[in-house]
A and B are shown apart, each in its own frame.
Chain A
Amino acid sequence: MVEMAQRHAGHLDRTQSRLELRLVLAAGFILFLVVIAIAAPWIAPHDPLDQDLFAGLLPPVNFQGSNPAYLLGTDDLGRDLLSRIIYGTRTALTVAAVATAIVTIVGSLLGLLAGWYGGWPDRIISRLVDIWMAFPPVLLSILLVAVMGAGLQSVIAAIAIVDWTRFTRVVRAETQAQARLDYVVAARALGFSRAHILFREILVNVGPVLIGLISLEMGVAVIVEAILSFVGLSVSSDMPTWGGMIAQGRQIVHTGWWVLAAPLLALFITVLAFNQLGEGLRRAVDPVMRR
């Protein structure tokens, strides 16, 4: 009655989508990184591989002894840190994007099928996940790189092959939870096919969980790549990678702390941005969260 009287004229609540500051900042930063990565050859002040032993270990500007031509300073071989960071963005983003895409598609698909159809598809997939997760991931990665040889493909493969299981488990659980709800029964009662219900009714409701997983995964991918290049298992050593730079910087941290600090900071801020992007995206895009 209360609602009848109040809504009698037909005016309804309209929830506002909230373009939060965090989303704007995070998305902006990621976009900025993408632009840098693509435009690296034009933006980078120096060739990242260019060694100049006379310009070795120069500190970043504003510190004593710095050279304005090298904004972030140089490493012990005289290579410009800023340029190396910029080129390192390419590796980081490529790995993040491709590995996450593979993991998302494979993992989610398997999770959706297992969660919705149940029965023997679920049994097979779940058993597979259980067995797979029993392998130590680091060992798996090393094995892969040993087999496939160093390079971007092996790094991406290493990440994808280890992490798809996490997606499958989470998506399967969420699918099962959604499948129990009345709107799914309603869809069956309306005559929709099982496939239609899975992809056109349930998937959109698994979306929020998926967005969270994806943004986390991108951060994980960047870090795993850094770890692999830290131990020298990543791409060939002529392309600069943040992980490789961290490995190198670690050894000379007492003589040139900036060599370690720059890639660490780049890594940290990038992963932070991915995480915040996920959270902000969920709030902005999900109609239910907007209330």
Chain B
Amino acid sequence: MTALHDDALLSATGIEVAYGAAAKVKVLHGVDIAVRRGETVGIVGESGSGKTTLGRALLRLVDVSAGTIRFDGQDITHLPDSVVRPLRRRMQIIFQDPMASLNPRHQIHRILAEPLRLHGLARDEADIQRRIASVLDRMSLPSACLRRYPHELSGGQRQRVGIARAVLLEPEFVLADEIVSGLDVSTQAQALNLLKELSAELGLAMAFISHDLSVISSVCDRVYVMRHGRIVEQGLCKDVFSTPSHDYTRELIAAIPLPAPISGWLDPSPRP
């Protein structure tokens, strides 16, 4: 595992996160995770597993009470905000609900252009417009949406704006937090394909959080299975899903209803 952490772009060891007065409620209990360049890592768990908190902790959006986070070799765990902010360009997040993660009173062109200006990524205004036009094209978004507000777009379009906003900054790491969870199956496939293509084109390191094992199996190389704030199993997707070693992983897999009727699926699994 140390080898994994050594050449990882983003890695964390012994992460603990606690909320509340006197840090009473522990949400993460000593989690180790690593993501290398070019690989897509899945983080799967049910509600209360801590997967969302882990994602936010990795991006320094949530304070950790113990542990170390390294990005590109640098220890960023306790860096002051002013030092972290320029780093943020390199590690981006796409949210589950674009209706909540896009400022409802900003037009799309402002949502996309302001981060570009902040990080000085473009040479001039014309360059900003060019980059935005290019990413809209890539996401199959009509240029008319630039003058619109988020609620004037469809759900799928909003989701693609969220993705566009993240990739415009040319990040090296992207956290996708349950991004297909609210989508219809048909739109889901489109979004997942888009993500895979982008990841390959941009050479991204990606952490994909989801409660849906099947979705993770279709986009991720490796997977971390979380439960109650701990990682109970990890490994290559094909290994974990075909021969899970932890009971909870087995339980998760057995609970997934596949779109092909299996007689006796509903029966309780025999106790070992």
Contact = CB atoms under 8 A, between A and B. Distances in A.
Whether A and B touch directly in their complex, counting CB atoms under 8 A apart, is answered as: yes
Contact of A189 (B61, B81, B102): B61
Contact of B151 (A3, A204, A288): A288
A45 B43 CA distance: 80
A147 interface: no
Sort chain A's interface into a size bin. Answer: 20 to 34
Chain A facing B: main interface SS: helix
Chain B facing A: main interface SS: helix
A207 interface: yes
B104 interface: yes
A183 B157 CA distance: 16
B104 A12 contact: no
A190 B169 contact: yes
A288 B169 contact: no
A18 interface: no
Contacts of A190: 88, 92, 114-115, 118, 165, 169
Contact of A12 (B105, B119, B144, B169): B144
Sort chain B's interface into a size bin. Answer: 35 or more
A13 interface: yes
Q: Which of the listed residues A11, A188, A207 has the most CB atoms from chain B within 10 Å of its own CB?
A: A188
B184 A191 contact: no
A254 interface: no
B144 A181 contact: no
A68 interface: no
B137 to A, nearest CB: 12
A4 interface: yes
Nearest to B107: A287
Interface string A1-39: 111101100111111000000000000000000000000
B187 interface: yes
A14 B61 contact: no
Q: Which of the listed residues B61, B88, B105, B190 has the most CB atoms from chain A within 10 Å of its own CB?
A: B105
B149 to A, nearest CB: 5
A238 interface: no
A14 B152 contact: yes
Contact of A10 (B101, B142, B151, B190): B142
Contacts of A291: 151-152
A192 B149 CA distance: 21
Q: Which of the listed residues A11, A187, A190 has the most CB atoms from chain B within 10 Å of its own CB?
A: A190
A193 interface: yes
Interface in A165-209: 181-183, 185-194, 200-201, 204-205, 207
Interface in B126-155: 142, 144-145, 148-149, 151-155
A1 B149 CA distance: 22
Contacts of A192: 85, 114-115, 118
A7 B95 contact: no
B105 A4 contact: no
Contacts of A47: none
Contacts of A2: 184
B154 A3 contact: yes
Given A182-B95, A185-B101, A190-B118, A12 B88 contact: no
B95 A287 contact: no
B105 A288 contact: yes
Contacts of B104: 183, 205, 287-288
A182 B85 contact: no
A189 B88 contact: yes
A238 to B, nearest CB: 48
B270 to A, nearest CB: 39
A145 B103 CA distance: 45
B63 to A, nearest CB: 12
Interface string A276-291: 0000000000111001
Contact of A188 (B61, B97, B145, B152): B61
Contact of B103 (A1, A194, A201): A201
Contacts of B231: none
A146 B97 CA distance: 57
Nearest to A190: B115
13 contacts: A3-B155, A4-B190, A15-B151, A183-B100, A183-B103, A188-B88, A189-B59, A190-B92, A191-B89, A192-B115, A193-B85, A205-B105, A287-B104
Q: Give the top 3 A-B pairs by smallest Cβ distance, nearest first.
A: A10-B142, A1-B186, A191-B88
Interface of B: 56, 59, 61, 81, 85-89, 92-93, 95, 97, 100-106, 114-115, 118-119, 142, 144-145, 148-149, 151-157, 165, 169, 184, 186-187, 190
Given A186-B102, A190-B165, A288-B104, 9 more contacts: A3-B157, A10-B142, A11-B144, A12-B157, A15-B152, A183-B104, A190-B88, A286-B105, A287-B151
